[in-house]
Amino acid sequence: MAGIIQRPKGTMDVLPSEINKWKTVEEIVERQAEVFGFREIRIPTFEDTGLFVRSVGDTTDVVQKEMYTVTATGDSSFTLRPEGTAGAIRAVIENGLLNEAFPQKYYYLLSCFRHEKPQAGRLREFHQFGCEMIGSPSPAADADLIALAQSIIDSLEIKNVKLYINSIGCPECRAKYHEALKKYFEQYRDKLCDTCKERLEKNPMRILDCKSDEDKKLAKNAPVILDYLCDDCRAHFDGLRRALGVMGINFKVDPRLVRGLDYYTRTVFEFITTEIGAQGTVCGGGRYDRLIEQLGGKPAPALGFGMGIERILLIMQKQNCNFFEPTTCDLYIAPMNENCLDEAVRTANILRGDGVSVEYDLMGRSLKAQMKYADKIGAAFVMVLGEEEVESGFAKIKNMATGKQTEVDLENISEEFEELFCNAIMEKDEDFRKIEENFLKNRKNGEGRS
């Protein structure tokens, strides 16, 4: 197989055999967002590079070394979106939506691009489901947003995903905290790992979640952000905790939870699993009260989260979650020979017009081979068309599950097939009911005996 071109590193092909898994997640996630009052927004795949530099932050890893940036003919520089928030907020501002009533709730399902080294749960093109809520400064909004994320996780029936929350304060109290942190770590400067020595200058909060053992020990006794929050930020965080309690959502406060994008203020949160390798953050988000203003919009508080679809799928597969059934063929038409193909095509066209999924032989195969194929693609019914049938105008349709054959009038195939199809569904329901009745009866008997 020399010379074939393969997919770019860190990208994925989703084949038809897997597509039902994606559709399951997409549908559940979108439905749940709609239930919470969020509405879909669609934005471009690439944006002006400056948008991400200004929002995500020019000191962040994402902007510094992970962006796919192209310079088009002329002088403009564009970047494939590394995340969804910046574009969504840009769209809201640009289309004058900030003049509409608050709160506003948007969701999107899109692919993002980051030039990273791939590993389990980390791709260069990955899919993100995101939600943004604009306008409310209240902790109730934070709680409502987190409740949506939790409800999505519940609806997907994934387990062992834990919620961690923290407040990183407003720029004012965070500045004070940075000072205190610097002071603390200065005295241990020599003991810190190399990257953390740099962090000490630029972003001391990052030292807190350094993985090096020595740094972890030092971080244990470091000052905690929560002790440095100003009154407003403290009240906000208390309000959030209270609201989550009212909603019955379990969470842990993790004072060392820091996020890598610059635009966050106050609330930050992550849903984390330990079941899919090192990249355990399934959903991450927080409040970004200054971002809209930074992007040139009329100041408004806002918050949001992003959820990694691939990571969700990894968990669901690991936990053997249920997925929607893949769509299958309703009817396979098997012409006996070439002379009967025309009739097969005619019949297929009529039924397809009714929305029935119909296939017929395109390989010139024997009847037996066609039956095998029909079975393989999961056809619910098979109709055999030979010379006899074409002449008489009557053909038999076989129910592949039961083996039962029914004669139908080809003149009237629409009605005939619909009836057959509905009957099969009803019979199936009947079977389920019998199974259920038996189960209940047996259980009763069992209870009686014991």
Partner RNA sequence: GUGGGUAUAGCGUAGUUGGUUAACGCGUCAGUUUGUGGCACUGAAGACCGUCGGUUCGAAUCCGACUAUCCACCCCA
Q: How many residues bind RNA (CB under 7 A)?
A: 71
Q: Does 197 engage in binding with RNA (CB under 7 A)? A: no
Overall residue count recorded for the chain in this entry:
450
Asked if omega into 103 is within 30° of 0 (cis), the reply is yes
Q: At what angle do helices 341-353 and 413-449 cross, to 10 degrees?
A: 70
Identify the residue among 2, 4, 15, 362 touching RNA (CB under 7 A).
2
CB-CB contact of 311 with 276 (8 Å) = yes
Does an H or E element contain 315, and which? helix 309-318
- If the CB atoms of residues 230 and 367 are measured against RNA, the closer one turns out to be 367
Asked if residue 306 binds RNA (CB under 7 A), the reply is yes
Of 10 and 223, nearer to RNA (C-beta) is: 10
Contact with RNA (CB under 7 A): which of 16, 74, 248, 403?
A: 403
Amino acid at 370: Q
Which residue lies nearer to RNA by CB, 234 or 365?
A: 365
To the nearest whole angstrom, how small is the minimum distance from the Cβ of residue 89 to RNA? 14
Binding string to RNA for residues 4 to 23, with x set by CB under 7 A, is what?
A: --xx-xx-------------
The string of DSSP letters for 215-267 reads HHHHHHTS--GGGG--HHHHHHHHHHHHHHHHHT---EE-TT---SSTT-EEE
Q: Which residues pair with 105 in a beta bridge?
A: 133
In whole angstroms, the minimum distance from the beta carbon of 450 to RNA comes to 36
Nearer to RNA, 239 or 294 (CB): 294
**Per CB under 7 A, does 303 bind RNA?**
no
- How far apart, in Å, are the Cα atoms of 165 and each of 155, 162, 223, 255, 345? 21, 10, 17, 8, 60
State the nearest-atom distance from the C-beta of 129 to RNA, in Å: 9
The residues, ordered by sequence, that sit 6+ positions from 360 with a Cβ below 8 Å of its Cβ are 332, 333, 334, 335, 341, 344, 345, 348
According to the binding rule CB under 7 A, does residue 289 interact with RNA? no
Q: In this chain, which of 123, 158, 181, 344 binds RNA, going by CB under 7 A?
A: 123
> With respect to RNA, which residue has the nearer C-beta, 223 or 386?
386
Residue 69: both structure tokens together:
């940036």
> Can you tell me which of 47, 310, 343, 361 binds RNA, judged by CB under 7 A?
310
Among 111, 319, 405, 414, binds RNA (CB under 7 A): 405
Other CB atoms closer than 10 Å to residue 16's CB: what's the count?
A: 8
Q: Determine, following the binding rule CB under 7 A, whether residue 362 of this chain makes contact with RNA.
A: no
> Does 406 sit near RNA (CB under 7 A)?
no
Residue 61 in the binding site for RNA (CB under 7 A): yes
Based on the shown chain and the rule CB under 7 A, indicate whether residue 372 belongs to the binding site for RNA: yes
